[in-house]
Chain A
Amino acid sequence: MSEITCTDVSKLYDPKGNSILAVDEVSLTIRDGEFLTIVGPSGSGKSTLLRMIAGLEDITDGEIRIGDRVVNDVPPQRRDVAMVFQNYALYPHMSVQKNMSYGLKLTTDLSTEEINQRVEETAEMMGIGDQLEKKPGSLSGGQQQRVATGRAIVRDPEVFLFDEPLSNLDAKLRMSMRTELQRLQEDLETTSVYVTHDQTEAMTMSDRIVIFDEGEIQQVGTPEEVYANPTNRFVADFIGSPSMNFATVEMEGNVLIGADFEYRVSDRIADRVREGDGGAELELGIRPEDVTVEAEPGDNRIPVTLDVVEHEGSDNYLYLVSEDVEWTVRVPGDRRPEEGSRLHLEFPESELHVFDRASGENLLAEETTEKPTAVTDGGRSAEE
């Protein structure tokens, strides 16, 4: 087990002179035994960072340490890391047994009997004990995933790296594998870095989450922190499903003025907004589950028209429109207002987020939750 430290790590690709900065001066510490998830949209640079930790990509600038060792120039095979790939990368011509034992044969002095024993034990643990003689091609997607994970576990490495390992599975299997991976990691207590674009995976599995976009860290924190206290609009929008509602507003005195609504805030909130901003354009943000729908108009209520009702089992999602904003609201499954009806949205000030439209910064970031995140330097660097 080891801590991983990235200091000002950058990756610059330079295909035929068109340089692309995939990772931009990222600083991050992954604690010993921690399950850290890097989440972000496609092309955000999250996989590149993972591959740099693995040694599959050169580091253009900065330093990566695994334990006490700087690994910038250490080849992948000497980093003592194991990786589970998105497409599993199982050797198609080798049996499951050989797939799992290959790394042990090359990197340890264990006898064949010892290797076989370890492989069998791990295979049993992964529920593929009876598949050892088969070739990967004859296994189901879920079984292949287990072999890939088993191949990583059997080596007992310092670090596990997961590159979207569940994205090729169907929804149900993905859910059960999620729990299984989580349990395995808790049992093994091996430092794990998990890359995904699926924010549900990130929220449910991780000790901490890193939200990544355009090669930069947007926020680092526990799932609860990043959900309740997003440091900027990107994080607020990316985390949470359905995502947060946004409406463009201006502030006059203590009132946030939108296209067809006004929302009065307390002095405390107004002062926070003024401190962080200077009267430029703002954006109000509120999560769908923090909004209630009322029939009658009133103070601080936003008039809307119900467009569509979507059933999600225990909940209903209401899609409502005001003059220039589409609102999503989550209500209990038994509540189903008539489509086209005129309604009014209400939400408590405590759940409100206000973003600077230009920088995207959440001006109430430290106000809305008790624990501030560890993000410094305008939300870019996240070294702890």
Chain B
Amino acid sequence: MSTSDHRLLDRLGGDYVDRETIEGLLFAAPYLIVFVVFLAVPLVYGLYMSFFEWNFLNPDQSEFVGLENYRTIIADGRFHTALLQTFYFVFLTVPAMTVLGVVMALGVNRGIKGTRFLQFAYFVPYVTTVSIVGLLWVQMYGANGVFTQYTAWLFGRVLSDTSLAMPGLALTTVWWQVGFFFAILLAARQSVPEHLYEAAKLDGAGTIRMTWDITIPQMKNSIIFCVIAGTILQFQVFGQPFVMTDGGPAGSTETAVFYLYELGFRTFDLGYGAAVGYVIMVILIAISLVNYYVIEETVN
């Protein structure tokens, strides 16, 4: 090939690559702009704030305190309790939602009558807002309202008992969000190829064996996804204690993000709040990383 041919190709290739890059950037631009304006800037600004005793009314007069806010966190018992309670909430909700989601998906997949109705019924709470769900369950738990007489014997006064309030929020959350898990897990179950079950039948497997040896391993990736996404999501729980208990009784449902809200918007201790926010973010990143490696391990 002659030199001029090379030049021609290079030029064509160069133009093509440039055009591709510009197109790619244009496609990504809407997200990038939103990301920078609403996430990257506040993130950096938050880090900056966390080194100050921030003056809410007059930011210019904020006092630089270095790592003082972070040192306070180490000794902040209320934050530690909130963190532990958050983990407790994750522990109460995620395994329950996963197991329940699997059971519901397997049940609906069996082709029983009314499958479509069940799919709808399981999913519909998920599209309801937390305020509606919260208010509904406050009534269910017998604090007051129309369901009291029917549910009081069952739930007593869950939300006013320090040891029952968090499980109460967890139950509400499971009811509210299990439909999302169910939808993902049903899709996973339905994508297991039928011929695997036929092969297993001929190999001598009964229904229970097939569930353990074929269905669950085949759904494994989706189950792991549910656990990870669920953990990250539930760790950020805020709406339920905000609507249903206001963190009470006696702080027993105060979660990490709820505490952050308290600091930021009730006591306006923005510098310290920013530091707490950063610690929560680091914990979430750590959980995500652990989960990521767990997935990598199990999938491979």
- Real binding pair: yes
Q: Which residues of A contact B213 (CB under 8 A)?
A: 91, 102
Q: Contacts A91-B214, A93-B220, A102-B213 known; A107 to B199 CB distance under 8 Å? A: no
Q: Knowing A56-B198, A83-B199 touch, does A89 contact B205 (C-beta < 8 A)?
A: no
Q: Please, how many angstroms separate the alpha-carbon atoms of A90 and B206 in the complex?
A: 17
- Total interface residues in chain B, CB < 8 Å: 18
Contact with B along A82-98 (1 / 0, CB 8 A): 11010101111110000
Contacts of B209 in A (CB 8 A): 106
Asked if B57 is at the interface of the complex by the 8 Å CB criterion, the answer is no
Q: Which residue of A lies closest to B300 (CB)?
A: A135
Determine chain B's interface SS by DSSP, over half rule.
Answer: helix
Q: Are A89 and B201 in contact (CB under 8 A)?
A: no
Could you say which of B196, B201, B217, B218 contacts A77, with CB atoms under 8 Å apart?
A: B201
The answer to whether B205 touches A91, judged by C-beta atoms less than 8 angstroms apart, is no
**Looking across the interface, which residue of chain B has its beta carbon closest to that of A84?**
B199
The reply on A67 being an interface residue by CB < 8 A is no
Task: Find chain B residues with CB under 8 A from A90 CB.
Answer: 199
What residue in chain A is nearest B198 (Cβ atoms)? A56
Whether A77 contacts B220 by the Cβ 8 Å rule is no
Q: Which listed residue (A77, A92, A94) contacts B202, Cβ 8 A?
A: A77
Q: Is there an interface contact between B205 and A75, defined as CB atoms closer than 8 Å?
A: no
**Any chain A CB within 8 A of the CB of B42?**
no
Residues of A in contact (CB 8 Å), total: 23
A1 contacts the other chain (Cβ, under 8 Å)? no
Asked if B195 CB lies within 8 Å of chain A CBs, one says yes
Decide: A106 and B204 in contact? CB cutoff 8 A: yes
In the assembled complex, the Cα of A185 lies from the Cα of B50 at a distance in Å of 76
Q: A83-B199, A85-B198, A102-B213 are in contact. Are A77 and B193 (CB under 8 A)?
A: no
B218 lies within 8 A of A106 (CB): no
Please tell me if B297 contacts chain A, counting CB pairs below 8 Å: no
**A85-B199 contact in complex given A93-B217, A93-B220, A106-B209, C-beta closer than 8 Å:** yes
The residues of A that contact B60 with a CB separation of less than 8 Å are: none
Question: Does the CB pair A103–B218 fall under 8 Å?
Answer: no
Taking a contact as CB atoms under 8 Å apart, the answer to whether A87 and B204 are in contact is: no
Cβ proximity bits A23-56 to B, threshold 8 Å, 1 near / 0 not: 0000000000000000000000000000000111
With a cutoff of 8 Å between Cβ atoms, the chain B residues found around residue A56 in the complex are 198, 201-202
In the bound complex, residues from chain B placing their C-beta under 8 Å from that of A9 are none
Q: How far is the CA of A225 from the CA of B209 in the complex (A)?
A: 46
Whether the Cβ atoms of B196 and A91 lie closer than 8 Å is yes
The answer, yes or no, to whether B76 is at the interface (CB within 8 Å) is no
B203 interface residue per 8 A CB criterion: yes
Bound together, the chains give a CA A212 to CA B193 distance in angstroms of 28
> Whole-angstrom distance between the alpha carbons of A83 and B202 in the complex?
7
State whether B204 touches A89 (Cβ < 8 A): no
Could you tell me if A75 and B198 are in contact, using CB atoms closer than 8 angstroms?
no
Docked CA distance A107–B196 (Å): 17
Q: Which residues of B contact A94 (CB under 8 A)?
A: 217
In the complex, what residues of A have CB within 8 A of residue B196's CB?
89, 91
- Roughly how many angstroms separate A87 CA and B196 CA in the complex, as a whole number? 10
Cβ–Cβ contact B218 & A107, under 8 A: no
19 A-B residue contacts at CB 8 Å?
A75-B201, A77-B201, A77-B205, A83-B202, A85-B195, A85-B198, A89-B195, A89-B198, A91-B196, A91-B213, A91-B214, A91-B217, A93-B218, A102-B205, A103-B203, A106-B203, A106-B205, A151-B203, A155-B203
A54-B202, A151-B203 given. 17 additional CB < 8 A pairs?
Answer: A54-B198, A75-B201, A76-B198, A77-B204, A77-B205, A77-B206, A82-B202, A85-B199, A87-B195, A89-B193, A91-B199, A92-B218, A102-B213, A103-B202, A106-B203, A107-B203, A155-B203
Binding site for A on B (CB under 8 A): 193, 195-196, 198-206, 209, 213-214, 217-218, 220
Question: 8 shortest A-B CB distances, which residue pairs?
Answer: A103-B203, A106-B204, A89-B199, A107-B204, A89-B195, A77-B204, A93-B217, A76-B201
